[in-house]
Amino acid sequence: MADRTYHSYVDDLFGDEDDILRETRAAIAREGLPIIHVSPSEGKLLHVLALTIGARRILEIGTLGGYSAIWLARALPEDGRLITLEIDPHHADVARWNFVHAGLDDRIEIRQGPAAEQLKAMQGGREPLFDLVFIDADKPGYPEYLELSLPLVRAGGLILADNALPKAVLEPESDNPLVRYNAAVAGHPELSSVIVPTLRDEMDGLAISIKRAA
Ligand code: SAH
Ligand code: MG
């Protein structure tokens, strides 16, 4: 057996995957998608955060094979809804299969296309507000996804961003998009934010922002 690490300890104890989640990861690997989904314990963190605020409507930016979406959707009530945005048709197909397999296809809607276009189409009250947005797509898009997500989230709702602690945060003058994203949420008058480290082989983190009442 492999040596225990901090993250394998937390994944094993709290990342309580069932067969569906294990099979979702297996399908992602079998279909040749990159293995860049959240870890089991980060999936659990997303799930717990969604439960904490009683989320009924969730928006995910970056579906891959649907692994994080399943963790999030399992926090929804039966009449809740998760919309997930994905640019790659093959990724969307694999995710669709996984959502059916998980019995969640009635609660999850995949919108295929570039996320920025999808988000622009949702502006102006065309989409009911979301309780939670999870940003986890192309990193250069993060600052724009934040701007476009803010009007779509209710007061008291959460905006979460994965991979918020790349090595670039240690470089003083970095223009890395995550460095810009983190500075934007830290300085935003409508948001209270922090980064929680996520346990992986390499350091990384989840940026958590709550939208305050205006
Ligand atoms: N949230 C997933 C992982 C997402 S990986 C999980 O943890 O299970 C990032 C995904 O974003 C990839 O599937 C990639 O195809 C998608 N993506 C990249 N650029 C995008 C864009 N401009 N619009 C929408 N999706 C994009
Ligand atoms: Mg990620």
CA dihedral angle for residue 182, residue 62, residue 129, residue 48, rounded to 10 degrees: -80
Which ligand is in closest contact with the Cα of 34? 1
Best residue among 68, 136, 200, 204 to mutate for probing ligand 1's pocket (most ligand atoms within 8 Å of CB) is 136
Nearest CA to ligand 1 atom 10: 62
Look at the block and give the residue holding tokens 């102006």: 124
Nearest CA to ligand 1 atom 9: 137
- Cβ atoms 114, 140 nearer than 8 A: no
8-state DSSP, 82: E
Q: Is residue 67 part of a domain?
A: yes
Neighbouring C-beta atoms of residue 131, cutoff 10 Å: 19
Report pLDDT for 200. Answer: 77
From first to last of the 214 residues of the chain, give the pLDDT tens digit. 568 988 889 989 998 899 999 999 999 999 999 999 999 999 999 999 999 999 999 999 999 999 999 999 999 999 999 999 999 999 999 999 999 999 999 999 999 999 999 999 999 999 999 999 999 999 999 999 999 999 999 999 999 999 999 999 999 999 999 999 999 999 999 999 999 999 777 889 999 999 998 6
- Domain of residue 206: give its range: 6-211
**Residue 18, burial from CB neighbour count under 10 angstroms (0-12, 13-18, 19+):** exposed
Q: Is residue 1 part of a domain?
A: no
- Characterise 187 by phi-psi region: left (phi > 0), alpha (psi -120 to 50), beta (else): alpha
Which ligand is in closest contact with the Cα of 142? 1
Task: Provide the residues around ligand 2 (an ion) whose CB is within 5 A.
Answer: 136, 162-163
Report pLDDT for 3. Answer: 87
User: For the whole model, what pTM was predicted?
Assistant: 0.97
Compute φ and ψ for 22, nearest 5 degrees.
-65, -40
Q: For residue 69, how far is its CA from the centre of ligand 2 (angstroms)?
A: 12
Report pLDDT for 199. Answer: 73
With a 6 A CB cut-off, is 91 part of the ligand 1 pocket? yes
Look at the block and give the residue holding tokens 């009442």: 213
Which ligand is in closest contact with the Cα of 139? 1
CA dihedral angle for residue 77, residue 146, residue 195, residue 169, rounded to 10 degrees: 150
CATH number of the structural domain spanning residue 204: 3.40.50.150
Q: Could you tell me how far CA 210 lies from the centroid of its own chain?
A: 15
Ligand 1 nearest atom to the CA of residue 91, by list position: 13
Tell me how far apart the alpha carbons of residues 186 and 202 are, in angstroms, rounded to a whole number. Answer: 23
Indicate the number of domains in the chain.
1
Compute φ and ψ for 170, nearest 5 degrees.
-85, -10
Q: Is residue 107 part of a domain?
A: yes
